[in-house]
Amino acid sequence: MKFTSAGSDCKQNISERQVFQYYEYLTMEEFAEVADDGFDLQQEIARSAFADMCHDWERNQKYDQALRITIARLHESGMQAHVLDIGTGSGLLSMMAVRAGADSVVACEAFRPMADCAERVIAANQMHERIRLVKKRSTKLTVGPGMDMERRANVLVTELFDTELIGEGAIGTYRHALEHLLTKDVLTIPHRATIYAQVVECPLALSWQCLKTLSNADGDILLRVPPEVVSCRGSSAVFDIQLSQLPAHSFNALTEPMPVMEFYWSKLDELKTDRCFKNPCKARISGFPQAVFMWWDLTMDKEASVLLSCAPYWAHPDFEHLKNTQVHGARRLPESNLIPWRDHWMQAVYFLPPVKIPLQKGQEFMLQSYHDEYSLWFSISEETPLTRPHCSCGWHIAQSRSRIGQLNDSLRNKRYLNYFERVFSGDSVVLVLSEGSLLGLAAARMGVKQVLLYEPNAISRRCMEAFVEYNNVQNVQFVTSADSLEPEQAATVTHVFSEPHFPSAILPWDNLHYGDLLKNLKPLLPASVAVIPASATLYGLPVEFLDLQKINAPLGTCEGFDLSLMDKLIEQHSLYADSPVEAQPLWEYPAYPLAGASRLLDIDFVGDFEKTKLSNGKFCLSEPGRLNGIAIWIEWHLDGSLGPKTTISSGPVVPVEEPSDEPVRWNMNWRQGVHLVRSFPNRAAIIPWTVKFNPTLSNVYFQFDYADK
């Protein structure tokens, strides 16, 4: 049986821009030669979102409609249609342009592995004589007889957008094309983009941004947040999110959605890189303005007959129509899932500078909206325009947003602190084997003798030092590495505590690194030392996702074109680079349980952590045809028992014990693991699984046999 690793072998994606910069000129043969050193590139191909975009049927159909309308109107006016497709990807939009009657089509694609694939896709669809494919960046194209483009194009079709609209350099690319590649009267598809903003009060979103005061069950303050952390604007990275999946009760909309800025893609003089827009607003209810929800729409053609919206369901222009036209007899979808699903363009949350006085119902105020070449940000201040936010306190660099959410989770913290009160005393010396553990620091304020904080990362350590200094915590000492713990010091330790959390972890069980640290330190620790948590359990749940499975499902044909060659390319690199289990915030992707949760593997940190563990079992499904994913999570047992009072779960907030027509409710402060079924053969009703834990590598390996034999 072949196993594939899911754990520390998982890699962070590099950005598409970085991939293009380093690998745009490699042929497929040259690319194969650097495969051993190009793991990130292979994974980028596998997860490039080219297929994800092609699964977006609404996007495809509206680009197709706009091409048909635009080319037909040019022909009606006696003009030819010469189309340029920038960033053609699979070649889909170029083939649509040919089908719509374009007189000539030039497609450019800088990412060489995808350009080579597009060449084969175009040939397979018998359009290689109608489309000139140039394997270059658009900024490298030449225009003139015998050059890349025989003439300037009078139609530009392209999709250069991300969740933030301009984050992949759309402004610069359009500006260059308008100056060097397009006619003065060019028609662009899309014609215009409009950015929408909605000011909200959303404590849930704020809990992923701002650290809160940590108190015990009696309300006594254990740790106050340093002023520099309170005033920090946070990470400058876009906070992309499926806004439609936010619980309706988790936010109050202080304003109606409003258009705040526009980009006319055919107007060079209006495509500037630094602008500020002032939009007068009136509060519809009272509340604190904490964040801005942002999305955008595309007016696809000049006559505005085709509109593509990325709005969440409550602001989507087609929502009422979609709600009234659900197919009778089919499963009735939640309102949040009626609108077209896409993962390559989501919505975003931007945090406003904190205010001390709430807005009152009917109060007028000014929303200021900013953008530079790549980013957006917002303010409701009348003061000097703000620069782009960035983290000045270190917390938003050292810790992810979901981790900050964990630190603010009052139920989780209460469970830990109640346990501390039962097991710690004035003689306790606590070694904390987590990074950025405010709970470990809180133990120092609960009367223990000493806390030793393991903080190998310099940024995280400075953040923790600021908390120690601001709260005047005297009985804390930092340990910068496992090797720096002196034997005399280790001999005094009575308790080892871990949340566990390590910033390098991607999947929840990557935090099993705690066990590895503990194993290495055990020879120095007293035999009587208490270990918290004492054990962990991996759980699995077979599910039916409504949409998430589309991110790696094969395309086959798309809008009448054969894209199976791109399927093969993505599958080839996915098999090499992708883990069979990837990390996803599953609360954003509704899923229905097809069985009860199964215990996959138990791990004991006190006894036999050093032994390789192998576990086997099976999922039993009553409706195997619905299976398209298996969700996996880990639970940490503080004292080794499985009681709810001493267990910290990264999975469902309500236990799943049987199949249900209600979606699973996931912990929103964790990413869970998910194995997506790549194809759709006949499903077996009984699915054997095997899980293996290798303590030497701190890796977990999974095997699922779900096809009917």
Tell me which of 44, 119, 159, 455 is the catalytic residue: 159
Give yes or no: 159 in active site.
Answer: yes
Cis peptide before 334, with omega less than 30 degrees from 0? no
* DSSP per position, 136-175: S-GGG--BSTTSSBSS-EEEEEE----TTSSTTSHHHHHH
Q: 106, 84 in Cβ contact below 8 A?
A: yes
Give yes or no: 168 in active site.
Answer: yes
Phi first, then psi: give them for residue 617, nearest 5 degrees: -175, -165
Strand partners, 6: 700
Strands 535-545 and 613-620: unpaired
Q: Report long-range pairs for 13-17 (Cβ below 8 Å, ≥24 apart).
A: 13/40, 13/43, 13/44, 13/47, 14/40, 14/41, 14/44, 16/44, 16/48, 16/111, 16/168, 17/168, 17/169
Distances (CA, A) of 487 to 192, 289, 426, 514, 524: 67, 52, 22, 19, 6
Name the strand (E) or helix (H) holding 322.
Answer: helix 319-324
Phi first, then psi: give them for residue 208, nearest 5 degrees: -95, 5
* DSSP per position, 167-227: TTSHHHHHHHHHHHTEEEEEEEES-EEEEEEEEEE-HHHHTTTS---EE-TTS-EEEPPPH
What whole-number distance in Å separates Cα of residue 444 and Cα of residue 495? 13
Distances (CA, A) of 354 to 207, 289, 365, 381, 401: 13, 8, 15, 10, 18
Q: Given its phi and psi angles, is residue 313 left (phi above 0), alpha (psi -120 to 50 degrees) or beta?
A: alpha
Tell me which of 109, 119, 168, 635 is the catalytic residue: 168
* DSSP per position, 17-44: HHHHHHHTT--HHHHHHTGGG-HHHHHH
Strand partners, 451: 430, 476
Can you read off the two tokens belonging to residue 509?
């069980």
The set of catalytic residues is 159, 168
